[in-house]
Structure 1
Amino acid sequence: MILAFLLALLAFGALLPIIAPLLRGGRPVASRGSFDQAVYRDQLRELDRDIARGLITGEDADAARLEIQRRLLATDKLPTAPSRLSRSPLLAMVVFAVIGAGSVGSYLWLGAPEVPDVPFSGRKAVATVDSQANSLDKATEALSAKLKQNPSDRASWVQYGRNLAMLNQFDKAEDAYRHAMALGQNDPDVMADHAEVLVLQAGGTVTPAAEAALKQVLALDPSNGLARYYLSIAAMQAGEPKQAIDGFQALLAEQPSDSPLRAQLALKIAEAAHSAGIPVPELAKGTPPAQTPGPDANAVANAANMPDAEREAMIRGMVAQLAAKQDADPANLDGWLRLGQAYAVLHEPDKAADAYEKAAKLKPDDISIPLQEVRALLTDQPPTEKLPGRVVALLKRVEASDPDQPLVLWYLGMAAVQDGHADEGRRYWGKLLTKIPQGTEDARMIQSAMDALPKQ
């Protein structure tokens, strides 16, 4: 109400210079002829005073008088000044009404009066987002400086790529991921992130290069959700909507029933069904909601502001709680998988492998579990060191179930070469080369490794 009053007051102030003259009227303005007549009459009076004082002769006085009188008569022919507006309250009211109504009507037509103001809480949230964006920019700049000093830090290249992707700098992000993979950071999650950047780089189109990268991720980790999602998108774009629906439905069946991803997957299924000209199928039911409690928003915010030592202590405490819960419920497959991932993040590969072993016993036919165990054990493994026996045993176990698994072929070939069996290594890598798209970076790397082997 106060705002409306202030706006009306401002509008009245803006109109006042226009309507005030109409309310009080205009004062008459003297014409140029009236001014000239006054001057010439004054000259006649001055001439009479000069004659009286004897300053001018009679003949000169007559001539001067005639000239002044001629000019005085000529002033009657000068144009008169236009008349000013007279007082007109009615016209003032009309002007005020027309301008006021026009302003209000224009706002109602062109403006958005129904849009509410942003509350202070919302402004605070916007400010927080801006602050987070600035923090991300600074963190990315710091990573760039760090990588200039230590370009062989593959973990920093991965984080640098993720930051650049969040900043929508996809070309630079793709280059950062390539650096990380060239340094040996070839786990499926990093490769999937790289493939996603390729898709985003193309404006959402799954290009042939991105599709080849996604298939490579899926060969290493058949359960990788990101690769399966984008390959389903690729099927839609290739005119195979039914294949896309099957892919989305499989992902939907693995999502908890309360997952926010279900809405996005359901939308994609509807789009694919519409493209195929078929009814939208019944959506696959998800898994039960996850019961494992995680940190709330306040805990996450507090952790972000903690010193590194305190933050790590808090994370280790949470992992210890998860481990205690698993000991009390050893049949919880998802819990063992989460515990293995948590230990891997904490760079405790042996504990991570133990957790994956317990998960594998609950689901022995799932080869993705021992492969996760292999990746956990090799996370901090220098490329030049010999593969641990535990890793080789896991790889042999997977080979018995899936002899064409690319990760198994690569590492078993490496183990054979490290043991001095170049021919066996060449056999593994030659078989792997037939599974990799030709012309890719990975294919060139495998060929280079084979060329470096001793000649037969």
Structure 2
Amino acid sequence: MTAIWFIFALMTGLAVLALLWPMSRRLALAAVPEGEARIATETGFYRDQLREIDRDAARGLLAEPEAEAARAEAARRLLRASREPGRTAGAVGEPALRRRRAASAFALSTVPLVALLVYGMYGSPDLPAQPQAERLAHARAAGNDLAAAVAQIEAHLAKAPEDGRGWAVLAPVYLRVGRGEDAIKAYENSLRLLGEDATRLADYGEALVATGDGVVSSRARDAFERALRQDPNAVKPQFYLARAAEQDGDRAQARTRYAALAAGAPPEAPWLPMVRDSLARLDGTAPSPAPKPAAGPGMSEEQRGMVRGMVEGLAQRLAEKGGTPEEWARLVRSYGVLGERSKAEEILAQARTALGNDPARLAPVEEAAREMGVVTAKAAP
């Protein structure tokens, strides 16, 4: 505790000294007639300039003709400054000296007082010191290992933004903690710096799907198609392109893609139940119990839960505040892709009520419902 007050006293003294130093120089010059002080300042400047010219000439930075010309010009200005008439005004008056002394006394007394008042209002001198390493250790002890890791990687990338591997490591972490937009930017940086390969492109497309509430957008579809050109046997791009066809209402194409994926899958593949559920949904048969969320092969349970959380967050917002027809359509499509037909039917009914059964506004919602095979009786007008 004593040490911190000593440090504060030292910092306050330095601040006061910084204020008083220029004033003390002016006070010292005040004893000299003002004109003489100005002449001394200007002649000193030109003498310094002459010495600088000599140094540059000695180092070869100035050719001799240029050095001579510069010396001549500086010498002329030096003579003019030292002989200029009207520069010998009297000394600074006593009122000016009194004002400067009063300003010095004010600074000496006020700066420490203000510092103490501010620290008393906003400071916390009783809290123990917490260096960065100790804070990170406490964060890990409190179960915030992931947040500490993200902070470390972000600090590294702030200093080395061209480290593609750093962006590749950070992107899935962002996705895991629900920072979808940041994950997309991180994947884009890794693709730009490391080049395209099937895995990075597929993961980038998956981040776009997760951020888009399970909808395979045109950007995501383009990423999956580029991934397949890199590796025609990659599972994740095939799965999402099948899902994209399903969302577009091209059930035949979707079934062909799902069937090809299932035919080439090893029996123990963890993503095979999702493919079979999708085929069952397209064939109109009952899907297997507890269908998986709209998440692609290779995603962890945490990531699947995150995708479901995004969809449910959109549903809650639309239920509380309403939304555009496109948002209602996206929610119907998302639940259809999740395989939750009853939820999709419930959202369709809510959309019809929220949009006032206006056929023009309901058109995109009804279209999404038809694509997902969701049909409910329309409300009576």
Classify the TM-score, shorter chain.
0.3 to 0.5
Name the structure, 1 or 2, with higher relative contact order (CA <8 Å, separation 6+).
Answer: 2
TM-score by length of 2: 0.37
Larger radius of gyration: 1
